[in-house]
Structure formats: structure tokens, C-alpha cells
Structure 1
Amino acid sequence: MSLQLVWNNEQDVHNISDELISQLMQVLYKAGEAENVTDGEVALTFVDDAQIHELNLEYRGIDRPTDVLSFAMNETVDEELDIVYELEEDEELDDIPDVLGDIIISVNRAQAQSEEYGHSLEREIGFLFVHGFLHLLGYDHQDEASEAEMMGKQEAVLAQVGLTR
């Protein structure tokens, strides 16, 4: 399987450990397996409430922080910029990963929600990550049926990697 996780930490609320990243890789593999997605790259960025608030306002017009944002690369927007990728001398076009999209998680929100729901921060971040991943694949939760479908898929993946409540 060549699903890849590229991550970046832009907050100082919580230390992002190697163990957490390993768990999130497992989450990605299990979610990809469940959805028959075996190739691609997911970019994950950890931010604080101020940063996600700004992004939520800019991209969704919602003037408050949120827990997770997903930006799928397979969505098209009229104002979308062309991405130019220069190949290295020994690189083939097939070597470029299929970028599935970006997931941005507010560690502040994840911490508050983990306390509210009575489970670990790692479990909450795992939940937000798989939730974001499903959004990258086109899932949504605009009605009860689609929300129930997403919730079932999320809980199944989290149970497989031991991130239960």
C-alpha cells in the first residue's frame, strides 16, 4: 500500500509524538483499506484555534474555530490555481503521488472535545483525522443517513487500531 501521510505541526498546545503519528498512519491505512484507496498522499497539519478560526472564516465564511477542516484535491473551484510540478532528473511522472488533499486539525478543539467526551486526546485526534479523510473521499454528513454512514465508518476504523472510547 502506498498511502502516505505528510504532516506538519504549527501549534504549541500539545506535543505531537512519534507514537501519535504512527497511530494516525494505522488509521490512514485502515480507512484506505475500507474505502479501497491504496495510493495517495494526505497532508495533515496541526494548528491552534486562532489558525483554524482564520481558515474557517476565509474558506467557509464561518466566524469561529472548528475542530477539523478538509480540502480535497479532487474538488474543482473556478479560482483554483494551476499546480506546476517540476520533475527531478531521475524522476518519472508516475513517481508523483496522487495528492488526496489536506486535513487541518485544531489541537485546542481536540483537547476540549476529548475532555467533554471523556476519552483520550489521541482518540479524538484519530477520530478527527478519519473524519477528515472521509471528507477527502467525498463523504458528507448533511442529513441523518449520511451522518450515520460516516459515523459507522469512523468508529469501525478507530476500533481496528484500538482508539476506542
Structure 2
Amino acid sequence: MAILFFEEDIRFPLKEKNKYKNWLKKIAANQNRKIKDLNYIFCSDEYLYQINVDYLNHKTYTDIITFDNSETDKDIEGDIFISIDRVKENAEKENAGFEKELLRVMSHGLLHLMGYKDKNKEDQLLMREMENQSIILFSS
């Protein structure tokens, strides 16, 4: 089992990596899932925009893109790209702290890998509820 954190085209050293790893494992365990291989790649808006164009054919900026590499429903494997620029902007816009917004986005990607969607209003409400529950777990 591996949870790894990378930086692409920015400097973003995540402090207390083990605390984040344990938190992510708790989120997965609460859904009877196990993280097998999970990579978080922190990057800039421009880097993530290019991934969005190249791989998803979307010409929009976004805060997160999740690629699911899982082979079974129980084992989580994937790559989660997060724009730190966008997380900072969202934190300001939502009047939330940077760390809280980072936790929201990190959990959002993991929740996607566990099957949660956010394309319609009902799914968005459930996703937000699950994000909030995940954020609470970080401090417990």
C-alpha cells in the first residue's frame, strides 16, 4: 500500500505527510475500502489546465482531476492532480482557510475514487456532506 505526494511545476512541500496518509486511510476504511496505490500530484493552474485539455478534452480550469486506476471496487488505485493555485483562490472565495480547502479537495478526489459523483445537484449535496465528514476526521 502506498500513498505518495508529488509536485509538478510548483513548490508545495506538504507538511506532516503521515498525518495526511492516516487521514486518507480513515476515509477509505469508513467506506470499507483499502488504499492500494494513491498518488496526489500538486501543480499549478496551467499544468492542470493542460491535463484537462490533453486527456479530457475540456478547455476549462479546474481545481482537481482524478484518474481511477482501480481494478476492483474494494481497492483504491488512482492519481489525483490538484491545482494549488485554484485551492488558494477557492479558499478566498469561500472564506475558508487554505488548509480546510486543501482537505476538501483532497477528500473530494478520494471520494470520486470510491464512486461518489458530482454531476447533478443531488450528487453534489451528498459529495459536500461526505467532504465535510472527511474534514472532521482529519482532527480526530
Q: 1:142 and 1:17, CA in 2 relative to 1: closer, same or farther beyond 3 A?
A: closer
Runs of 5+ consecutive residues of structure 2 not aligned to the other structure: none
TM-score w.r.t. the length of structure 2 is: 0.86
Cα displacement string for residues 67-123 of structure 1 (whole angstroms, at most 9, x for unaligned residues): 000000137xxxxxxxxxxxxxxxxxxxxxx66110000000001111111222121
Q: Which has the higher contact order (CA 8 A, sep 6+)?
A: 1
Cα displacement string for residues 21-79 of structure 1 (whole angstroms, at most 9, x for unaligned residues): 3442233122112211134121110010110000011122111221000000137xxxx
Q: Which residue of 1 aligns with 2:117?
A: 140
Work out the CA distance in 1 between the residues paired with 2:118 and 2:49: 21
RMSD after superposition: 2.1
Q: 1:99 and 1:144, CA in 2 relative to 1: closer, same or farther beyond 3 A?
A: closer
Work out the CA distance in 2 between the residues paired with 1:109 and 1:134: 19
Q: Which residue of 1 aligns with 2:34?
A: 38
> Percent identity at matched positions?
23
Does the CA-based 8 Å contact 1:127-1:154 persist in structure 2?
yes
Greater than 4 Å deviation, 4+ residue runs: none
Aligned length: 137
Q: 1:65 and 1:153, CA in 2 relative to 1: closer, same or farther beyond 3 A?
A: same
Does the CA-based 8 Å contact 1:131-1:154 persist in structure 2?
yes
Q: Which has more helix, going by share of residues?
A: 2
Equivalent AA in structure 2 for residue 9 of structure 1? E
Q: Which residue of 2 aligns with 1:130?
A: 107
TM-score w.r.t. the length of structure 1 is: 0.74
